[in-house]
Amino acid sequence: MSKNVENIIELSNELRWKLGGDFHDSITESIYADASEIVGETVNTDSRKGRNALDVKIDKIVTSKTWGFPIMFLILSVVLWLTIIGANYPSALLAELLLDTIHPALKTGAESIHMPWWLSGFLIDGVYLSLAWVISVMLPPMAIFFPLFTLLEDFGYLPRVAFNLDYLFKKTGAHGKQALTMSMGFGCNAAGVVATRIIDSPRERLIAIITNNFSLCNGRWPTQILIASIFVGAVVPKSLSGVASVAAVIGIAVLGMAFMFFSSWALSKTVLKGQVSTFNLELPPYRPPRFWKTLYTSLIDRTLIVLWRAIVFAAPAGAVIWLISNITIGDHSIAYWMIDSLDGFGWLLGLNGVILVAYIVAIPANEIVIPTVLMLTVLVTGMAAGNGAGVMFELDSANATGDILKAGGWTLLTAINLMLFSLLHNPCSTTIYTIYKETKSAKWTAVATLMPLLMGFVVTFLVAQIWRLF
Amino acid sequence: MDKEKKIVSSACEVCPQYNPNGLKKLGVSAENTDFVVALAGNPNTGKSTVFNALTGLRQHTGNWPGKTVTRAEGAFQYNDQKYKLVDLPGTYSLLSTSEDEEVARNFILFGKPDVTVIVADAGRLERNLNLVLQILEITNKAVLCLNLMDEAKRNHVEVNTRALAKRLGIPVVPTSARFNKGIPELIDVIRQVANGEIVCQPHRIKNVPKTIDEAVKKLSEEIKKQFPGVPNSRWIAFRLLEGDERVMEALRTQEF
């Protein structure tokens, strides 16, 4: 049986050779000829009207050379501003409920049933608190950011962004559709990496995968926002502090895009050399989004799924933090030894040992960086603000958080470098795993993981050295 | 009388075969289904919207090409028969090698769906037909879902669906899935094709240069001899002449 198959294949090889190289084009032409014949017989277009006049007018403005970019940044700013301002109130309410009310109640409950201190510490101060923190900090901004983003998407704005950025991507040797996967990355890098499947050239797809991490993801927005409000907002007059904070966060996001373009360019000039492939980008008609439906689906599909992922990773991370803070070797806890050994390197980068340990603990989920930092800072400074060793907590006001950080030796430099390092470090473990699944290559997964981390070291090091000169 | 006229929005609704109450949206529970239905089409034609309308699922839809890159599955039940519905990634063609096109092509080819529903944008039919004609080379059991009729109408594009159905040799159902229009009719046509009540005679690509046509015929005869059951020997011949490794491998491993 299989021998006959070889006959068929041999015959096809023979015939292919006879037909010559333009077979593919001939077939494509035949299909198009058939299509236009059929359409000629069955479709009646009013040739005087054509594309929707309003669509054309909107496109002329939002994809124009002059207005395209300002409009893009304006929309990004409005979305961020609504997210930052709007998330404050529900965050505070959730924190009050989960951290100030339920947490003490759980502790009291545990005491009344005589639960051993280590078990209640592990479960309530470790696992429960990390979950509570992630929910109260992440849920509100996500519940605002994702629906806004989805509304823009349904309206049809994303392909216009791709259209505006296409020229820059082409210049860097990357694929124009990378603009779409980059935008997805602003929500979640793992989702952005999966979205690169729309890029058909393997070379350009790899570039898009490796550089997706430079899109500031949802887990990192809260870190940026909190640190910017505490430190950047504080150096300007009070009336301007909100604007300054938003500007600083947007600055970091734009810097991330700059790094993405730069590393796409560097990759396509070195290890991933090749031609830029052309593609057709459809600018779909603008469609008024169906508001309530969009709200519902974006809450279910995106917000809850991302939140669930964060919860799954935060629970064990909370347990680990509690353990390393409470298991002692010699005179001090494991956390203390880790912080101590990384302090010197941290100082070189304008950071400190606490931040580096927090980033190691937070590899599974970027969302828990800040609570880990706070908890560890309290631990090493011996302050009494927290609830004891290894307890993650959120302070009621940004001011109180700032006081702790300042007591831990933080300066404006530490804050700025933390924001930079939050942008430039390894992707979270889910994204790393997704990269491996998509590329099926340990080598490229390693490149995608270590390249941004190295960049983070270099950038924060340089900033720290220059800062200290003045 | 007048009142009745207002409620009935299409002739299909008074047809004895029409049975909107027979539809049960089964969500993701796609076990033990009687038929497998594939949903193919160009990007941004509303495939995911059609998928949601049929299954009752709420797969996210977006207004940009390339929203769906993986396969999504769901199910519905109609008149006691269960249908599994597979939403394929949107593609412009099946001739290149990007991952989304491979997923779509391999499913239509090797997944052997009982019905392939091709969702097309009524306002951009010419561009969409490229994919439609390619799919019709692969499978005999197809339905064209002419979606976004509302938009086409707004842009003054009129499609003669009966002439189109005749030309393509498959049923054509006009829909506006966003507003659930035409979905009951689509379901009933899917049922008829799945049960063999409608037998398609799909259009096969004409306008092929003579030399190629002869080579294809010769090769396709050879394939028919070895694989008497395949409905798409001509398409396999096209692919072999193009040197498609995946199709060669499929021949060797008897996947057809």
Residues, chain A: 470
pLDDT for B176 equals: 94
**Closest Cα to residue A207, out of A235, A236, A178, A231?**
A178
Q: Give the A window 9-68 contacts with B, CB below 8 Å.
A: 9, 11-12, 15-16, 18-19, 23-24, 26-39, 41-46, 49-52
Specify the pairing of strand B81-87 against strand B142-147. unpaired
B62:A12 CB<8 A: no
Smallest CA–CA distance, residue A316 to chain B, in Å, is: 30
A159:B168 CB<8 A: no
pLDDT in tens, A321-346: 888 888 888 888 888 899 999 999 99
Q: How far apart are CA A468 and CA A350, in angstroms?
A: 9
Handedness of CA A361, A366, A368, A372 (dihedral sign): positive
Smallest CA–CA distance, residue A164 to chain B, in Å, is: 15
Does residue A48 have a pLDDT over 60? Answer: no
Q: Which of B97, B205, B207 sits opposite A200 (nearest CB)?
A: B97
Give the model's confidence band at A47: pLDDT under 50 very low, under 70 low, under 90 confident, else very high: low
Q: How far apart are CA B181 and CA A296, in angstroms?
A: 22
pLDDT for B4 equals: 42
**Closest Cα to residue B142, out of B112, B176, B162?**
B112
**Closest Cα to residue A403, out of A422, A421, A386, A420?**
A386
CA distances to A119, A138, B146 from A297, in Å: 39, 18, 25
**Is A228 strand, coil or helix?**
helix
pLDDT for A52 equals: 66
The amino acid sitting at B146 is: L
pLDDT in tens, A396-417: 556 667 777 887 788 899 999 9
The least confident of A109-113, A227-231, A373-377, B133-137 is A373-377
Does residue A186 have a pLDDT over 70? Answer: yes
The amino acid sitting at A375 is: M
Give the model's confidence band at A227: pLDDT under 50 very low, under 70 low, under 90 confident, else very high: confident
Q: How far apart are CA B39 and CA B247, in angstroms?
A: 22
Tell me the pLDDT of chain B averaged across its residues. Answer: 83
Q: Locate tokens 């940004």: which residue?
A: A398
- Both tokens of B151, joined, read 């938009």
Tell me the pLDDT of chain A averaged across its residues. Answer: 83
Q: Packing angle between helix B233-242 and helix B210-226, nearest 10 degrees?
A: 120
Residues of A in contact with B66 (CB under 8 A): 177, 180, 195, 198
Give the model's confidence band at A215: pLDDT under 50 very low, under 70 low, under 90 confident, else very high: very high
A12:B219 CB<8 A: yes
**Residues near B159 by Cβ (< 8 Å), separated by ≥ 6?**
A42, A43, A44, B122, B125, B146, B152, B174
Does residue B63 have a pLDDT over 80? Answer: no
**Closest Cα to residue A124, out of A318, A311, A309?**
A318
**Nearest chain A residue to B227, by CA:** A5
CA distances to A17, A357, A426 from A420, in Å: 57, 16, 12
A8:B164 CB<8 A: no
Contact A216, A258 (CB under 8 A): no
Give the model's confidence band at B1: pLDDT under 50 very low, under 70 low, under 90 confident, else very high: very low
A34:B44 CB<8 A: no
Strands of B35-91 (E only): list them. Answer: 35-41, 72-78, 81-87
B69:A301 CB<8 A: no
B242:A24 CB<8 A: yes
Q: Give the A window 120-179 contacts with B, CB below 8 Å.
A: 150, 153-156, 158-159, 162, 177
pLDDT for B110 equals: 85
B129:A39 CB<8 A: yes
The amino acid sitting at A274 is: G
Which of A17, A198, A439 should one mutate to test binding to chain B, selecting the residue with the greatest count of B CBs within 10 A? A198
pLDDT for A128 equals: 86
**Closest Cα to residue B175, out of B187, B193, B157?**
B187
A46:B157 CB<8 A: yes
Average pLDDT over every residue of B105-110: 87
pLDDT in tens, A144-181: 877 887 788 778 888 888 888 888 888 898 888 888 88
Smallest CA–CA distance, residue B74 to chain A, in Å, is: 16
Q: How far apart are CA A368 and CA A372, in angstroms?
A: 6
pLDDT for B62 equals: 54
For chains A and B, what is the number of CB pairs under 8 angstroms? Answer: 181
Q: Locate tokens 């702790």: which residue?
A: A404
Other beta carbons less than 10 A from residue B9's beta carbon: 10
Angle at A266 between CA A265 and CA A268, to 5 degrees: 65
A39:B163 CB<8 A: no
pLDDT for A303 equals: 74
Residues of A in contact with B235 (CB under 8 A): none
Q: How far apart are CA B154 and CA B156, in angstroms?
A: 5
Q: What is the gyration radius of the CA atoms in chain B, in angstroms?
A: 19
**Nearest chain B residue to A205, by CA:** B98
pLDDT for A51 equals: 59
Residues of A in contact with B59 (CB under 8 A): 301
Measured over all CA atoms, what is the biggest interatomic distance in chain B, rounded to whole angstroms? 64
Q: Which helix (H) or strand (E) holds B48?
A: helix B47-55
pLDDT in tens, A279-307: 666 677 787 777 787 787 777 766 777 67
CA distances to A170, A206, A445, A466 from A273, in Å: 13, 11, 18, 34
pLDDT in tens, B178-212: 888 999 999 999 999 999 999 999 998 888 888 88
pLDDT for A160 equals: 87
Q: How far apart are CA B50 and CA A249, in angstroms?
A: 40
A198:B97 CB<8 A: no
Smallest CA–CA distance, residue A133 to chain B, in Å, is: 28
Q: How far apart are CA A107 and CA B77, in angstroms?
A: 51
Other beta carbons less than 10 A from residue A285's beta carbon: 20
Measured over all CA atoms, what is the biggest interatomic distance in chain A, rounded to whole angstroms? 88
pLDDT in tens, A93-104: 888 888 888 988
Smallest CA–CA distance, residue B17 to chain A, in Å, is: 28
CA distances to A85, A105, A140, B74 from A89, in Å: 8, 23, 9, 39
**Closest Cα to residue A223, out of A78, A372, A400?**
A372
Residues of B in contact with A39 (CB under 8 A): 125-126, 129
Contact A339, A409 (CB under 8 A): no
Does residue B5 have a pLDDT over 60? Answer: no
B241:A300 CB<8 A: no
Residues of A in contact with B135 (CB under 8 A): none
**Nearest chain A residue to B253, by CA:** A2
Does residue A36 have a pLDDT over 70? Answer: yes
Q: In what order do the strands lie in the sheet with B115-121?
A: B23-27, B72-78, B81-87, B35-41, B115-121, B142-147, B172-174
The least confident of A42-51, A306-315, B82-91, B210-219 is A42-51
Which of B64, B126, B159, B216 should one mutate to test binding to chain A, selecting the residue with the greatest count of A CBs within 10 A? B64
Q: Is A182 on the interface with B (CB under 8 A)?
A: no
Which of A3, A34, A184, A283 should one mutate to test binding to chain B, selecting the residue with the greatest count of B CBs within 10 A? A34
pLDDT in tens, A106-154: 988 998 998 888 888 888 888 888 788 778 777 787 788 778 877 887 7
Q: Which of B58, B63, B215 sits opposite A284 (nearest CB)?
A: B63
The amino acid sitting at A414 is: T
**Closest Cα to residue B38, out of B77, B62, B74?**
B74
Q: Which of A26, A50, A155 sits opposite B209 (nearest CB)?
A: A26
β-pair partners for B37: B85, B115
pLDDT in tens, A341-372: 999 999 999 999 999 998 998 887 787 787 78
Does residue A218 have a pLDDT over 50? Answer: yes
Q: Which of B64, B92, B158 sits opposite A284 (nearest CB)?
A: B64
Q: How far apart are CA B221 and CA B230, in angstroms?
A: 11
Q: Which of B126, B178, B212 sits opposite A23 (nearest CB)?
A: B212
**Is B157 strand, coil or helix?**
strand
Residues of B in contact with A32 (CB under 8 A): 130
